[in-house]
Amino acid sequence: MATAREVSDRAARRDVRDRWLLSAPALIVIFFAAIGPLFVMLAYSFMAKGDYGDVKFGQFSLDGWFSVFLQRDIFDDTITLADAHLSIFWRSVRLSVITTVLTIALGFPTAYFIATRPRHTREIWVFLVTIPFWTNLLIRTFAMQEVIRNEGILNTLLIRLGIIAQPLQIMYTDAAILFGMVYVYLPLMVLPLYASMEKLDFRLVEAGYDLYAGRLQVLRRVIFPLVKPGVIAGSILVFIPSLGAYVIPRVLGGGKNMMLGNLIEMQFGAGRNWPLGAAISITLMAIVMVALLFYVRNTARSGAGHG
């Protein structure tokens, strides 16, 4: 005789199996399209590099991983830190963090503005925010170059206004990369921020004012904690592509100011060091994972109470 518990357990097991079966096609696609290539990368990073690119199949080697952060002197075999790589890692992380912070600073008021418009005009504003997505990233990056180059719009304007005498050298600096990344990734911050601000109950804002909180305190103590999920989602959406940015540093940063994306590209191209390229790619992924874990832990903690 089956007890009620056994029956319900069996039903639950059948339920789980059905779900797996139904999801199987999607899971197979995901495995081959998304996770499969990662295993290829992982395998390549542990192989010896081929003479003209590619790898030597079956030849195990740690050279690729060794070269991510270290280098061996050609003459006396001493091992030192690979300064060139480290500075690129550092620049990537630094510029991505700054980009994230700047997009929050610009995106927050923008999203707040949109969320406080009358309902029927909000869609128009959201639509306007998404317009940059219509054009290709490369074209947008070249457009930004037009703005910030020495004879560009920004410098011409500042000189005409008499604010500066000599054009500012923005192109081929980290600042140029920042200009580009903030411009390109700002919509990715505004949209999730807007999504969570639209859900914000403005009666809570009134309650804050009623309880003697000034405008800044309402922002800090009521609005910000309530839209934090949007801030976090936006930060993830901006930080991750920033870290792997390739086109923007290539066009605006020039050859000298490389970021991780450029370094990886170089290994697979001119550098002809696929194992190193693969190892750096996986390192980049690891950085992203650590950053995500950090975010998730942070949200879990702030969700339970109030900081």
Partner 1 sequence: MPKPEGVQEKRIAVEARGITKIFGAGENALRALDNVSVSIRQNEFFTLLGPSGCGKTTLLRLIAGFEYPSEGAILLDGTDIATLPPFKRPVNTVFQSYALFPHLTVAQNIAFGLEMLGKPRAEINARVAQMLKLVQMEELGQRRTDQISGGQAQRVALARALAPSPKVLLLDEPLSALDYKLRKEMQIELKRMQHETGITFIFVTHDQEEALTMSDRIAVMSKGKILQIGGPRDIYERPSDRFVANFIGETNFIDAEIDGATGGAAAVIARLPGGAQIAAGVPDGMVPRGRVAIVVRPEHAVLARPDEGGQLRGTVENVVYSGTDTHFHVRLDGGNPFVVRSQNRRGTEAAFAAGDPVAVRIQDGAAQVLRD
Tell me which residues touch partner 1 (CB under 8 A). 201, 203-204, 206-214, 217, 221-222, 225-226, 305-306
Distance CA 110, CA 191 (A): 10
CA R_g for the chain: 25
Closer residue to partner 1 (CB): 10 or 220:
220
For residue 66, which amino acid is it? F
Enumerate the H helices of 211-271 as residue ranges: 215-218, 224-243, 247-252, 260-268
Q: Of 114 and 218, which has the nearer Cβ to partner 1?
A: 218
DSSP 168-215: ---TTSHHHHHHHHHHHHHHHHHHHHHHHHHT--HHHHHHHHHTT--H
The minimum distance between CB 204 and partner 1, in angstroms, equals 5
What is residue 167's three-state secondary structure? Answer: coil
Toward partner 1, which CB reaches closer, 43 or 204? 204
85 sits in the region (left: phi over 0; alpha: psi -120 to 50; else beta) called: alpha
Nearest approach, Cβ of 193 to partner 1 (angstroms)? 17
Pick the closer one to partner 1 by CB: 159 or 200: 200
Q: How far is the CB of 303 from partner 1 (least distance, A)?
A: 8
Answer positive or negative: Cα dihedral of 121, 126, 132, 136: negative
The dihedral formed by the CA atoms of 221, 222, 228 and 231, expressed in degrees to the nearest 10: -90
Q: How far is the CB of 304 from partner 1 (least distance, A)?
A: 9
Taking the complex as a whole, how short is the minimal distance between the CB of residue 73 and partner 1, in angstroms? 56
Closest CB to partner 1 among residues 98, 213: 213
Whichever of 175 and 223 has its CB closer to partner 1, that residue is 223
**CB 11, min distance to partner 1, A:** 31
